[in-house]
Structure 1
């Protein structure tokens, strides 16, 4: 496979964003439809609410404060459940009791990038599933360590790092950089660092964008900004 058929996809997301979970599934489907294109996917941090304390907040009260209307919240959840079913996601919002701070989860995702091919992807998928399908508190270090173990990471190293401030500033700086780039919502898919696809677009739209970037790269043309 030539270098022209290889592209990098940076996925800016937060693991408590249901649209990011949908976006992950749709990206997987898009890439599966493009067997001639090799994509190197990197997960980049974003926090929907960095003000949540480390211990998290009671989710129902937190969500009601955001939406102000319980019926509206139920409608949003019902819509996401329907969309998720199409992508093979079993959203279980009733199982979620804690709205966590995701900074430590993003630190773990960062470390996963250095843990071997496919580990970061597997970890991101696990964290989405743990939160949205199983109602786990992904701000809890014990939950994060177990996720690291399942993804194939060195849990002793992870456990020791989580107890420190390792990479906390680096993750925070990445989030600030994303905001300076104009990313105010997630998911955002950055293709070869030049072309952005915003939101949880359907798989066909993502596939078309990836195909376009790959074709322009193969032709030696500048990618659209």
Structure 2
């Protein structure tokens, strides 16, 4: 088996698109060799814990309404080509994702990381939910088969806060500047939301096909 580490943030639309494209390749090659693990990277580490309105965030990030509109248009085009249907302009708030990353970490310990990651993306982009809200995170945890009461107790404490920050910093120290970034066998970095056919080729090369 080959380790595939995915460095991402659950509010990153390119991460959502990149996951969808990877999933398409894995469905095409169900005998793939990958063991997938998700890792934290906060796009906005200085984000207030309560988050900020999306319009304010886009204006601050891209400098103008016109620049933001162009970025959003490119994202929406890529999403549609990938088969995803969501509307960035409908998202009311951009949350701090520190607690979401903590949930992903705990989900990995319990063996339900794929379900939690998928649910976080769907909650934020499709259902327009605030995944910085602990009630929302507990609901997602419950849906993935985790003990929601235990998750709430963990979220209310400081368990693994330092670990998430340290892992984020470690990836930045390795040269990761954007997400998604995929690490194949902890050796080869594949940045960006790569098309499904690239992942199919990677799988075939690993299997010695072609």
TM over 0.5: yes
Deviations 1:129-184 (CA, angstroms, capped at 9, x unpaired): 11112221110001111111111111111011000010011111110110111111
Which of 153, 163, 166 matches 1:173?
A: 166
Q: Which runs of 5+ in 1 are unaligned?
A: 1-5, 217-225
Q: Distance in 2 between matches of 1:60 and 1:70?
A: 9
SS at match of 2:109: coil
Q: Report the TM-score when normalising by structure 1.
A: 0.88
Asked if 1:31 is matched to 2:26, the reply is yes
Q: Report the TM-score when normalising by structure 2.
A: 0.94
Q: Distance in 2 between matches of 1:53 and 1:215?
A: 48
- Aligned residue pairs total 209
Deviations 1:33-67 (CA, angstroms, capped at 9, x unpaired): 22332321100000111000111111111111111
Q: Which runs of 5+ in 2 are unaligned?
A: none
Deviations 1:76-103 (CA, angstroms, capped at 9, x unpaired): 2222222212323222212211111111
- Which consecutive aligned stretches of 4+ in structure 1 deviate over 6 angstroms post-superposition? none
Which of 45, 48, 51 matches 1:53?
A: 48
C-alpha RMSD of the superposition:
1.6
* Correspondence list, 1:30-109, <5 A: 30-109=25-104
